[in-house]
Amino acid sequence: MSKTSVVVASHSPYNRKPKVLMTTLDEIVDSFELIGDWDQRYQYLTELGEKLPVMPESLKSDKNKVKGCMSQVWVSAYTNEQDAALIQYHGDCDTSIIKGVLAVLIQLVSGKEPEAIEKLDVDEIFTRLQLDENLSPNRHVGVYAIIELMKQQARELQSSQHKYDIAKQKC
């Protein structure tokens, strides 16, 4: 896997600024391993959450709300302006630690095709980042629910893009 960061362009009307993101689990694990104890890692997660772009209130709908999470969490998928096959995400959460985890998840899946998002292995993320040892079981359930909603939204965007492509061919 590549250890380089990439610039991910976004077509969201709410955020036009490209960002440099860690895009592989290896890169994120490397960053976590540089941090010693879990108090510092919690602080790092909090900082990642604080850097998450503001999610517009209009996207904080029931459709985008994660069910089964103790925190109030929203995610919203949209297609990349330069390549409609790539998915991007907005996200927000009312608790700092889970907002940081959400930021990590968004980094992992944004700029990817739905097939790659679907293959995201939640257990590998938990194990490699040692979240399984340091988040409560209730938080685990919530993170699984976040990832499931992200996958569902990616599938829906892929399906709507496929329908659009078929309609376009008929014209």
> Which active-site residues does the annotation give?
69
125's CB contacts (< 8 A; 6+ apart) are: 25, 104, 105, 108, 131
Tokens matching residue 162: 């496929």
Quickly count helices (H) and strands (E) in the chain: 7, 4
Residue 168's Cβ-side half-sphere holds a number of Cα atoms within 13 Å equal to: 6
160's CB contacts (< 8 A; 6+ apart) are: none
Eight-state DSSP code of residue 130: T
Q: Which 3 state secondary structure label does DSSP give 20? A: strand
